[in-house]
Structure 1
Amino acid sequence: MTDQPPVHKPTTRRRQLLGRLSLPERTFITDALRTETVGGMLLLTATGVALIWANVWPHSYESVLDYTIGPSTPLHLDLTLANWAKDGLLTIFFFVAGIELKREFVAGELRTPSAALLPVIAAVCGVALPAILFVLVNSGSGGHPSGWAIPTATDIAFALGVLAVVGSHLPSALRAFLLTLAVVDDLIAILIIAIFYSSGIKFWALGLAFAGLVLFWFLHRRGVKGWYLFMPLAVVVWALMHESGIHATVAGVAMGLTLRCHREGDEEHSPGEHIEHLVRPISAGLAVPLFALFSAGVTISGPTLREVFTQATPLGIVIGLLVGKTVGIFGGTRLAARFTRAELNPQLKWADLFAVSVLAGIGFTVSLLISELAFRDNPTLTDRSKTAVLVGSLLCALVATVLLKLRNRHYRALCEEEGRDTDGDGIPDIYQEDDPAWRARVSEPTEDLPGERPEPGR
């Protein structure tokens, strides 16, 4: 009886978590986050101005917020500047979020179920755990469980603004994870707003808004072009959605989702990508900072800060942002990676993902919006909640800064490797290393330039 050779079973390659992005995806992420980083810096500046304005000249700040402008029509568009910022400017923000979400589903990280699973689970856990912690803290007497959604949001612009300030060279894979997480988070936030913070639904207005959305989609799919046509239609859809009782920002997301975000024929960019490229600077550089200017101005004092850590509602917000978002995102990602047998990029550590999870606890923009919606009949509680959002976001920013600084040297080396372009062709070397023709080209000795040839006798 002869010995049989051992049978080797084929091994399946484990999917990599936070692996290298494709070159088109890396280029898109880099361009998008560059705009968001600038917007984040403006957002930080606008927040600082709002706080100084509200604390040094409080009566002036309140009078500006309460200034009413707009036509007194059957659609009730004579709104205060604070409401225009909340219902109007943030519609632009959510319009961009809708395009981002559509693009992620058709061409980005969410286009395949296996790739979408990790960021979706991370985002869902990052929404669920803060809400649970908030409700637990507010379950006793004196609590207000209706504000459960306040600590559930992630503000990508504010987070990138913090990164710009601390100078962290975060690798593109971690930045892409943060952006994808924020996109899914925005979808969940708009669903929460539409379902839980809408009241007095007027079905005639909602039906007309839906008809306007169908017309918007039909004209776009038929290839009709012209901002002079789509802009008035978008305003009408927004006004009808505002009148319907559904929060007006839902119109922005819905219109963003109707755009085509996949390329056809010889298109260099899809219509959705082109429109996003035009509108994103307006959203990040104008709409969101102005919203912060009109929403972040709360009175800061010793007693106010003490209430943040002694009253149930603000304490639940701080715990939700700092603990709930961090543990939810990090724990959800680790569990999903374990059960899907995904393998972490060997160039990174779980500590890197933990630091990004802390950074994602910066709620700000959407958290401020939900604070106003949850306690619209209680201005004192609204201001207390906004103060808690600012404190919780600041704590997340400080903790994340410390954690990222500890690994900043390693991040800098990874970023230099990602961006190295030996032959100057505009394509980083890491995307060409497996090409024999490229290796042969870069290994050839370069000839001296005429002006650099050594002189005879030297």
Structure 2
Amino acid sequence: MAHIPPRSRGVLEAQAETSYLARRVRLPVQRYIHTEALGGLILLAATIAALIWANSPWYDRYHEILETHLSIDLALFVVDLSLHHWINDGLMALFFFVVGLEIKREVLLGHLSTPRRAALPVIAALGGMAVPAAIYLIFNYGGDGERGWGVPMATDIAFAIGVLALLGRRIPMELRIFLLGVAVVDDLGAIAVIAVAYTESISFAHLAMVAGLVAIVMVANRVGFSHAAATSIIGFLIWVAMLKSGVHATIAGVLFALLIPAQPQYSKERFAQESESLIDDYREALSAGDREHSEAVLGQLEELSQGTESPMERLERLVHPWTSYVILPVFALANAGLHFSDVDLGSVVTGDVTIGVIAGLLFGKVIGITFFPWLASRFGIVELPRSVSWTSVIGVGFLAGIGFTVAIFISGLAFTDPALILNAQFGIMCASVLAGLAGYSILRMTSRSG
């Protein structure tokens, strides 16, 4: 299902009236880009490419490229990171920035905006985080892999929604909303785990810098100051300060997203009222040949029109495609390259970390996402939508077991031992494939029976 954001579609349709390129190329490309399954397919292709490259004769070159150091040396600070860390700490901060925007939108305006609407996905997501972590610890408590309990808590929403999109219109909208709500709360949980559980040491001086920069943005929002370049520079400085504070730098993306204003400058009602009189003024100015006044009126109309979209909505609309089609595939290319040629596969398959991750993602997710809401429904706390069955909830539970990108990301924070990272990521990939197949099969079966 393709869904171009209405604002973007409107701009392209207007441009298509006069531009052959917009009509024949940009508009069709945008329709294709916003097909939900496409993001998952590109992510899958990047993963396969990474696995092939990492197990080819060019394996050494793969790691040489990732270990290439790039630095920014300014008077105030120096940031010197390998390409691998620029991807994991830098590009993924942009990914978590979009995640933060989505969370804020859902909490303020969307599926989590009221307690009644939020109850079902929140309870399901809590179960989908607690049970996988508990199952993982059954296999790893007290062992070398104990720190990896956060790995099976994660859900890759791009893959999960991509699989759901393959089923098309046979899936009720309420079920899709349920999966999105679960994923948003799951993302919030993953952010909390990254910030709390995988922070080794803290520099309070750099955290104070973060607080000062946040205060500047809050004051700017309060007085109505809005300048894209200045805001971007402050966002970058927040990222640098967070990177040097010891708290993982991706948290800067979430923090900065929460600072983006969620309310438009002008209401749509005000635009409707004022635009009519401004258009009349524009016609009068044209009739009188008053070019200067007509241009001024166009400026007012432009400001009114742009002001009806909040900065939060605009940034999510513009940045989201970049995360889906650039950032996440690049992350997969840099992190999914598991090297098996010199590895004892038997020890990897039977390792406690591997088993814990597979069991947590494949079984823990579906148990938590199904049992917690079912228990809550017995007590009258939540109620399933009429078009959603418990069997389809089980299918969604399996789709949530597609951990992939976020789970791989957390595994790199949890472990420093390459063997444990390999075991965790092997388990993530196996569980994600099996969970995706199981979820697709169950939902396809329920959609046929429905």
Q: TM-score, normalised by structure 2?
A: 0.79
Partner of 2:432: 393
Secondary structure of 2:402's partner? Answer: coil
Structure 1: stretches of 5+ with no match in the other structure: 1-23, 412-458
- Aligned partner letter, 2:428: V
- Aligned partner letter, 2:200: S
- Aligned partner letter, 1:187: L
Counterpart selection for 1:136 from 135, 138, 158: 138
Counterpart selection for 2:446 from 396, 407, 426: 407
Distance 1:304 1:334 in 2: 42
Counterpart selection for 2:98 from 73, 96, 99: 96
Judging changes above 3 Å, is the alpha-carbon distance between structure 1 residues 114 and 308 closer, same or farther for their aligned structure 2 residues?
A: farther
Distance 1:257 1:304 in 2: 45
Distance 1:308 1:294 in 2: 21
Q: What is the 5 A alignment of 1:47-126?
A: 47-56=47-56, 57-72=58-73, 75-126=77-128
Distance 2:342 2:178 in 1: 38
Judging changes above 3 Å, is the alpha-carbon distance between structure 1 residues 40 and 78 closer, same or farther for their aligned structure 2 residues?
A: same
Distance 2:388 2:411 in 1: 36
- Aligned partner letter, 2:192: L
Does the 8 Å CA contact 2:73/2:79 hold for their aligned counterparts? yes
Aligned residue-pair number: 380
Distance 1:237 1:107 in 2: 26
Does the 8 Å CA contact 1:75/1:243 hold for their aligned counterparts? no
Partner of 1:337: 377
Deviations 1:166-218 (A, max 9, x none): 66743221111111111111111111111111122111111101211222233
Distance 1:112 1:164 in 2: 27
Q: What is the 5 A alignment of 1:165-314?
A: 169-263=170-264, 265-266=267-268, 268-300=308-340, 305-314=345-354
Judging changes above 3 Å, is the alpha-carbon distance between structure 1 residues 189 and 108 closer, same or farther for their aligned structure 2 residues?
A: same
Partner of 1:438: none
- Aligned partner letter, 2:125: A
Does the 8 Å CA contact 1:168/1:408 hold for their aligned counterparts? no
Secondary structure of 1:225's partner? Answer: coil
Counterpart selection for 2:412 from 372, 379, 393: 372
Structure 2: stretches of 5+ with no match in the other structure: 1-5, 10-30, 269-306
Partner of 1:358: 398
Shift of residue 410, structure 1, vs aligned partner:
6.0
Shift of residue 41, structure 1, vs aligned partner:
2.1
Secondary structure of 1:199's partner? Answer: coil
Does the 8 Å CA contact 2:351/2:423 hold for their aligned counterparts? no
Distance 2:35 2:252 in 1: 23
Shift of residue 279, structure 1, vs aligned partner:
1.0
Distance 1:221 1:178 in 2: 35
Partner of 2:423: 384
Does the 8 Å CA contact 2:174/2:385 hold for their aligned counterparts? no
Distance 1:403 1:201 in 2: 46
* Pairwise CA RMSD: 2.4
Partner of 2:279: none
Distance 1:52 1:392 in 2: 20
Secondary structure of 1:70's partner? Answer: strand
Distance 1:126 1:34 in 2: 28
381-390 or 80-89: bigger deviation: 381-390
Quick one: percent identity of the two aligned structures? 40
Deviations 1:365-417 (A, max 9, x none): 111111111112x1221122111111111111111122122134467xxxxxx
Deviations 1:111-132 (A, max 9, x none): 1112212211111111111111
Judging changes above 3 Å, is the alpha-carbon distance between structure 1 residues 171 and 95 closer, same or farther for their aligned structure 2 residues?
A: same
Does the 8 Å CA contact 1:221/1:260 hold for their aligned counterparts? no
Deviations 1:229-255 (A, max 9, x none): 111111111011001100001110011
Distance 1:347 1:165 in 2: 19
Distance 1:272 1:39 in 2: 22
Does the 8 Å CA contact 1:106/1:262 hold for their aligned counterparts? no
Judging changes above 3 Å, is the alpha-carbon distance between structure 1 residues 247 and 403 closer, same or farther for their aligned structure 2 residues?
A: same
Secondary structure of 1:108's partner? Answer: coil
Deviant stretches of 4+, over 6 Å: none
Shift of residue 334, structure 1, vs aligned partner:
1.3
Distance 1:70 1:110 in 2: 41
Shift of residue 63, structure 1, vs aligned partner:
0.8
Judging changes above 3 Å, is the alpha-carbon distance between structure 1 residues 396 and 75 closer, same or farther for their aligned structure 2 residues?
A: farther
Does the 8 Å CA contact 1:41/1:164 hold for their aligned counterparts? no
Does the 8 Å CA contact 1:102/1:257 hold for their aligned counterparts? yes
Distance 2:155 2:117 in 1: 21
Shift of residue 165, structure 1, vs aligned partner:
5.2
Distance 1:338 1:75 in 2: 57
235-244 or 383-392: bigger deviation: 383-392
Deviations 1:282-336 (A, max 9, x none): 1111111111110111024696553344111111000000011110111112122
Does the 8 Å CA contact 1:361/1:393 hold for their aligned counterparts? yes
